[in-house]
């Protein structure tokens, strides 16, 4: 597990800085200050970024970080962080990682132990998502679950087979119960608990749900829990049992196609996997 207290350590930092999608006057003072203060800005298109810099009198060195050179560029950016430099990541407009480059450098920076700090001020879900270290796209924003445990379990069951990163909101006095419910229904998935976003006590706790559960009992502040989406582990599926269920449904009068659909719905195993196993078995 990695606990990052963004403002309470002196580690080199990778800042994820959103930029206006159209009207440049929507650029925030903090974003401008970060872009002025870092040592290097990694930009999707240096020409677009320099236009932004000219408007706000930003003189920071700019390097290119595009989708086609993301792996190679990430090596260079990690090298800068290893030398103690702070780096900001921007895209042409909007949020890095959201249909824009950035996932690779964020993951590597977290793995190497550097701070990854996202800026926003107006959207906690995206703020937490892009700095979580989990796959930013595709994702599903869920928000608050029910405060009633039985209803919360029911809601989580409806999300457990979604193969997309899940984003939840939760209050501090309910976070422990909520994570326990997630573990019960979703299993011990990779997750990131982000709290006090953009404030002095901002913290990102990255690890498994069980690891996060161990430290969440006394945490304060509004929270965002980002959870890895469903990943089907074919090795854990007993296809022999699945085939028995298909045969039973066929024996009850269903066509092969309808039987596969029914078993897929009951078990959560994808239809195409059942179909391939049914037609390829000896």
Q: What pLDDT is recorded for position 96?
A: 93
**Helical (H) or strand (E) element with 167:** strand 165-170
Q: What is the domain partition of the chain in residue ranges?
A: 1-119, 122-231, 234-280
Instruction: Read off the tokens for 178.
Output: 């909520």
Nearest to 201 by CA among 214, 213, 218: 218
**What is the C-alpha separation between 219 and 3, in angstroms, rounded?**
12
State the CATH architecture for 122-231: 2-Layer Sandwich (3.30)
Residue that is written with structure tokens 């039973």 in the block: 248
pLDDT one digit per residue (tens) for the chain, 282 residues: 999 999 999 999 999 999 999 899 999 999 999 999 999 999 988 999 999 999 999 999 999 888 777 888 899 999 999 999 999 999 999 999 998 989 999 999 999 999 999 998 789 999 999 999 999 999 999 999 999 999 999 999 999 999 999 999 999 999 999 999 999 999 999 999 999 999 999 999 999 999 999 999 889 999 999 999 998 665 566 788 888 899 999 999 999 989 898 888 888 787 888 888 887 776
Q: What pLDDT is recorded for position 273?
A: 82
Residue that is written with structure tokens 């980002």 in the block: 226
Instruction: Read off the tokens for 265.
Output: 């719905």
User: Fold identical between 1-119 and 122-231?
Assistant: no
**What is the C-alpha separation between 142 and 155, in angstroms, rounded?**
10
State the CATH architecture for 1-119: 3-Layer(aba) Sandwich (3.40)
Q: What pLDDT is recorded for position 38?
A: 98
**What is the C-alpha separation between 4 and 113, in angstroms, rounded?**
9
Q: What pLDDT is recorded for position 282?
A: 60
Q: What pLDDT is recorded for position 235?
A: 52
**What is the C-alpha separation between 227 and 88, in angstroms, rounded?**
25
């Amino acid at each position: 597990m990695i606990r990052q207290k963004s403002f309470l350590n002196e580690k080199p930092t990778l800042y994820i800085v959103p930029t206006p999608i159209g009207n440049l006057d929507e650029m925030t003072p903090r974003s401008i200050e970060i872009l002025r203060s870092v040592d290097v800005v990694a930009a999707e298109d240096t020409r677009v970024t320099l236009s932004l810099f000219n408007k706000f009198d930003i003189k920071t060195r700019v390097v290119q970080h595009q989708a086609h050179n993301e792996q190679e560029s990430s090596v260079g950016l990690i090298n800068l962080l290893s030398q103690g430099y702070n780096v900001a990541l921007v895209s042409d407009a909007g949020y890095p990682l959201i249909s824009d480059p950035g996932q690779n450098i964020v993951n590597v920076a977290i793995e190497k132990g550097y701070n990854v700090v996202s800026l926003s001020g107006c959207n906690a879900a995206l703020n937490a998502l892009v700095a979580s270290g989990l796959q930013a796209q595709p994702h599903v924003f869920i928000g608050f679950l029910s405060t009633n445990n039985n209803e919360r379990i029911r809601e989580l069951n409806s999300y457990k087979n979604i193969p997309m990163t899940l984003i939840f909101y939760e209050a501090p006095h309910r976070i422990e119960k909520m994570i326990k419910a997630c573990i019960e229904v979703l299993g011990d998935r990779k997750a990131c608990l982000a709290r006090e976003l953009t404030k002095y006590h901002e913290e990102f706790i990255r690890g498994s749900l069980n690891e996060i559960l161990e430290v969440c009992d006394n945490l304060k502040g509004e929270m965002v829990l980002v959870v890895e989406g469903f990943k089907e582990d074919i090795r854990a599926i007993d296809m022999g049992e699945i085939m028995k269920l298909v045969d039973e449904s066929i024996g009850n009068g269903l066509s092969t196609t309808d039987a596969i659909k029914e078993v897929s719905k009951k078990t959560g195993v994808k239809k195409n996997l059942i179909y391939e196993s049914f037609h390829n078995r000896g």
